[in-house]
């Protein structure tokens, strides 16, 4: 598959339908930044900040890889954390994520 569809719901509730390549090693944070959505990604995708905190909407949460220890540690320090919280920099765009829906978390 060349491109997948990803839906991003911004902090104002506006839905952005995006197409993303899966053959470039990009993550959801990079896709959001390239689409000029309000995601900072201050640490550059190293799971050292929580400025790309987002919620993975079901049913896609079940297909996500497990959180790394670094991601868990950062989410422990983030605001507005929910069970479906993830760092966008840790979600690599892959064919199995076609149709993924994420909602940007409020800024703390």
pLDDT tens-digit series, residues 49-92: 999 999 999 788 888 889 999 999 999 999 999 999 999 999 99
Phi (first) and psi of residue 80, to 5 degrees:
60, 35
| Burial track 53-65 (b if 16+ CB lie within 10 A, e otherwise) | bbbbeeebeeeee
pLDDT for res 59: 84
pTM listed for this prediction: 0.93
* pLDDT of 20 above 90: yes
Q: What is the mean pLDDT of the chain?
A: 93
Right CATH for 3-104 from 3.20.20.70, 2.40.30.200, 3.10.20.30, 3.40.50.300: 3.10.20.30
């Amino acid at each position: 598959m060349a491109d997948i569809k990803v839906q991003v719901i911004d902090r104002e509730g506006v839905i952005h339908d995006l197409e993303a390549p899966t053959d470039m090693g990009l993550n959801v944070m990079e896709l959001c930044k390239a689409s000029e959505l309000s995601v900072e990604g201050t640490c550059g995708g190293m799971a050292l900040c929580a400025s790309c905190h987002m919620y993975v909407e079901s049913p896609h949460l079940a297909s996500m890889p497990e959180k790394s220890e670094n991601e868990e540690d950062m989410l422990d320090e983030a605001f507005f954390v929910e069970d479906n919280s993830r760092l966008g920099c840790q979600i690599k765009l892959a064919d199995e994520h076609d149709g993924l829906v994420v909602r940007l978390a409020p800024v703390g």
